[in-house]
């Protein structure tokens, strides 16, 4: 009963480096999304997916790339890291079927703390 | 202007008091309303969710939605020190496929 698993938990990058934040869920949820959390800003949506092969941009997509080849996995790629991408990143998932049955809460992972120097 | 506004606090109350939290929003397309609790260095966890207008009660927690005023509230009765956390409101449209969050209110319950 893992829920949403994010790796790594911590990461330090140099400006210009690239990396992939991993997210996996074992609940067969159709909906998955990535958020970043900055002090005083709440959580802002980066990218989201409504199913395998389908992704869309959120509020702050620039500098990030996603793909969804399976229902379980939704990796987030930083193409060329910048100090402005220093943040805590959360992955979340939800069931489309559950939403229509009245259960529309998202399950969040424990986050990845990223520092870009 | 943000779509969802939430007072950042901090809100400090004595143990046993009622905690009152609220959010206002501007997007009339929002249909689902949620409250999340987030402890320091942890991911958000779902507390309550409601659909459209009305009240919902779960133990010590009551969520209210007033769509005509674009205003939602969360009340925590008999507050405990373990309720000290940041509370985030979140909303989504009819599809429910993405969430828009408020900035969060930090709550401190003092013994």
Mutation for testing the A interface, residue in B8, B50, B99 having most A CBs under 10 Å: B99
Distance CA B50, CA B56 (A): 7
Mark which residues 10-29 of B lie under 8 Å from A by CB. Answer: none
Per-residue confidence at A1, pLDDT binned at 50, 70, 90? low
- Mean pLDDT over the full length of chain A: 92
* Per-residue pLDDT, B97: 82
The CA–CA distances, whole Å, from A65 to A19, A41, A46, A77, A106 equal: 11, 22, 9, 5, 22
The model's pLDDT over A40-74, given as tens digits with 9 standing for 90+, comes to: 778 999 999 999 999 999 999 999 999 999 999 99
pLDDT tens digits for A80-94? 999 999 999 999 999
The pLDDT of residue B72 is: 96
Question: Exposure string (b/e) for B47-76, b if CB count within 10 Å is 16 or more?
Answer: bbbbeeeeeeeeeebbbbbeeeebebbbbb
For B82-99, the pLDDT digits (tens) are 999 999 999 998 887 889
Strand A64-66 vs strand B4-6: parallel, antiparallel, or unpaired? unpaired
B4·A42 Cβ contact <8 A: yes
Enumerate chain A positions whose Cβ falls within 8 A of a Cβ in B.
4, 31, 33, 35, 40-45, 48, 50, 58, 90, 92, 94, 96, 99, 102, 104-111
Residues of A within 8 A of B94 (CB-CB) are none
Using a CB-CB cut-off of 8 Å, the residues of chain A touching B32 are 99, 104
Q: Provide the sign of the torsion angle of the four alpha carbons B48, A25, A3, B37, taken in this order.
A: negative
Nearest CA-CA distance, residue A4 and chain B, Å: 10
Sign of CA dihedral B46, B5, A82, A115: negative
Q: What angle do CA A38, B2, B77 make, to 5 degrees?
A: 75
Q: What is the pLDDT of residue A45?
A: 96
Q: Among partner residues A4, A43, A110, which is closest to B101 by beta-carbon distance? A: A43
- Mean pLDDT (whole number) for A15-21: 97
Nearest by Cα to A88 from B107, B85, B42? B42
Q: How crowded is residue A56: how many other Cβ atoms within 10 Å of its Cβ?
A: 14
Strand partners, A45: A35
Q: What one-character DSSP code corresponds to residue B49?
A: E
Q: Is the dihedral of CA A91, A108, A28, A44 positive or negative?
A: negative
pLDDT at B26 over 80: yes
Q: How far is A10 from B15, CA to CA, in rounded Å?
A: 35
Given 3-state DSSP classes, what are the helix, strand and coil percentages for chain A, each rounded to the nearest 5?
5, 50, 45
**What tokens appear for B101 in the block?**
């969050």
């Amino acid at each position: 009963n893992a829920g949403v698993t994010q790796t790594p938990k911590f990461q330090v990058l140099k400006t210009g480096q690239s990396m992939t934040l991993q997210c996996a869920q074992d609940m067969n949820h159709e909906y998955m999304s990535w958020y970043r959390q900055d002090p005083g800003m709440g959580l802002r949506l980066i990218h989201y997916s409504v199913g395998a092969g389908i992704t869309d941009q959120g509020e702050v997509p620039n500098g990030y790339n996603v793909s969804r080849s399976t229902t379980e996995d939704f990796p987030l790629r930083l193409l060329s890291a910048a100090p402005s991408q220093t943040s805590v990143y959360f992955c979340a998932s939800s069931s489309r079927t559950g939403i229509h049955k009245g259960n529309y809460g998202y399950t969040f992972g424990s986050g990845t703390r990223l520092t870009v120097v | 202007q943000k779509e969802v506004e939430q007072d950042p606090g901090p809100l400090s109350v004595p143990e046993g008091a009622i905690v009152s939290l609220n959010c206002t929003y501007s997007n009339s397309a929002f249909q689902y309303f949620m409250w999340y609790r987030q402890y320091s260095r942890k991911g958000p966890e779902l507390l309550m969710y409601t659909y459209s207008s009305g009240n919902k009660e779960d133990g010590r927690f009551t969520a209210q939605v007033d769509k005509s005023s674009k205003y939602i509230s969360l009340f925590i009765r008999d507050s405990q020190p373990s309720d000290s956390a940041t509370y985030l409101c979140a909303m989504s449209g009819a599809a429910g496929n993405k969430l828009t969050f408020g900035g969060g209110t930090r709550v401190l319950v003092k013994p």
